[in-house]
A and B are shown apart, each in its own frame.
Chain A
Amino acid sequence: MTPSRDQDSCRDRLALQQRALAESLTGLTGNKTGVASNANGDASLLSGIDPAEIARSAETLIRKRIAQTRSALPGTARILGSDFPGAFREFAEEHFFHGTDAIWRDAIEFTRWLRSRRAEPAWLSDTLRWEYERCMWETHRYYLSCFRMKFAVPAWISRIDQPSPERRVQWILVWRCDRKGRIDIFSPPF
């Protein structure tokens, strides 16, 4: 059965309303998504919806991103402590990712973003690099990276009772090769 013109127009309106909601919930507009938005600016599409409900849903979404990024970056979360949510919110004003790997992309880009903004404590830079590389390793089929760290960050992350990492210069090789039959190597072991 072919849809009637009425059905088509109801569906078009629903599509625009969903788009307007998606933009409101994520803080994105057509400009940022790279897709022209007819919904942008048409207030009638969301009229009748309680603005408090939209605000609460947007807050739920950002809290979910914060929680997911925090668990992807345990060392960074430990260093930032109660500053983590505020820093992530600032980052999120300009960054939003799509798709099933959005959680990892939040984590990867957040480490990059922080690296250009914070320098303290001395082991922050190594922690950000280590966690960046770990996320890259998780999300790529083929990956190779080699870098030098001044602190033994991996051991510190796994030991909650150790207040700060040991100062120890070490070279790290991160290697992933996903061909069947080959072993994944991430060196040194966690």
Chain B
Amino acid sequence: MVAAAVADVVVAVAVAANSTSPGSMSDHQGHQAAEAYVSLPSYGVGLGFRPVHREELFSHRKSIDFLEIIADHYFDPSPPKQAELELLQANFPLIPHGLALSIGSAEGIDARYLSKFRSIVEQVRPAWCSDHIAFTRAGGIDIGHLTPVPKSRASLDVIRDNLRRVQDVIHVPIILENITESIRYPEDEFSDAEFLGRICDDNQVGLLLDVTNLYINSVNHRFDPLEVVQRLPRDRIVQLHFVGGRFEEGLWVDSHDCATQDEIWQLLEAVLAMISVKGIILERDERIPPLAELIPELDRARSIFLASKS
């Protein structure tokens, strides 16, 4: 394990040295970033918390190692939401997951959103927090949906500057999630792996690898998902997401509304044979069943997670 981690640091630093982006991290900073992510606590397998499961959580406490909460749901909380947050915090390790930092917005970070995100992080004091490699805001419009950015140098510059702004006020490690590539741009200059790798090389940031999104992109855009994982700075992959998707009109969609399919389980297993992560989250958003129906998925993920650690 130690040998693998050292090899990964060497890969990360080697790419950083070749990077042409101004302001990229030095080799020393690259080492520091890699070490910072390796030393994060290992949580295990948890759930993306949805309020409908609030009461049931405690009867399945043993199957849930940690919870990911949607940070946006606790902005300016009403007393019941504040009480909910305090209840969760008293019983589980929590990871705040943002939906609209809009780290890929060329017009910059929204100061009001950032300040609300910061207050959740300060309240929860998590081991890390996360958002997406996407933009959700442009020209005064909040799209309300994660939209991909071109895999270009211009996007890398924007992400770097936005991340610095965020990291000036948020002092816990930030990890960024790969989204489904619903829109592809003629401006793309890099492959998925190169783009994610460069984001890590340029910044002190980790990755939240959504295995379902990786699977969906690999099928819709015909590439080998494991080749992408192989080429990523693996010691920066802190957390995984997984959930079922849907195949509609010839394409996979990240519907987050059904049980995880066999193909996605297989990919999760293969990914965990290649990398060591700190936590895995089942991210069910739609057609949410009683929690008891999700527990077998958590248990299955846990046995894969534990097997990968042994």
Contacts and interface: CB of A to CB of B under 8 A. Distances in A.
Contacts of A184: 78-80
Contact of B182 (A18, A60, A138, A180): A60
Contacts, number: 118
A28 B141 contact: yes
A100 B183 contact: no
A18 B253 contact: no
Given A1-B22, A14-B106, A19 B139 contact: yes
Contacts of A114: none
A100 B100 contact: yes
Contacts of B80: 184
Given A13-B154, A49-B184, A33 B141 contact: yes
Contact of A53 (B100, B113, B152, B182): B182
Contacts of A11: 106, 154, 157-158
Interface stretch (B32-40, B143-151, B169-177, B209-217): B143-151
Contacts of B158: 11, 14
A22 B150 contact: no
Given A21-B183, A34-B140, A57 B154 contact: no
Interface residues of A, number: 48
Nearest to A30: B139
Contact of B78 (A7, A34, A138, A180): A138
Contacts of B187: 48
B114 to A, nearest CB: 13
Contact of A33 (B113, B116, B139): B139
A80 interface: no
Given A11-B157, A14-B155, A49-B184, A1 B23 contact: yes
Given A60-B145, A61-B143, 20 more contacts: A15-B107, A17-B150, A22-B138, A25-B143, A26-B143, A39-B139, A48-B186, A49-B183, A53-B182, A53-B183, A57-B145, A57-B183, A61-B145, A64-B144, A96-B141, A100-B75, A102-B142, A102-B144, A180-B79, A184-B78
Interface of B: 22-23, 72, 75, 78-80, 100, 105-107, 113, 116, 135, 137-145, 147, 149-150, 152-155, 157-158, 182-187, 251, 253, 286
5 contacts: A1-B22, A30-B139, A35-B140, A50-B183, A60-B253
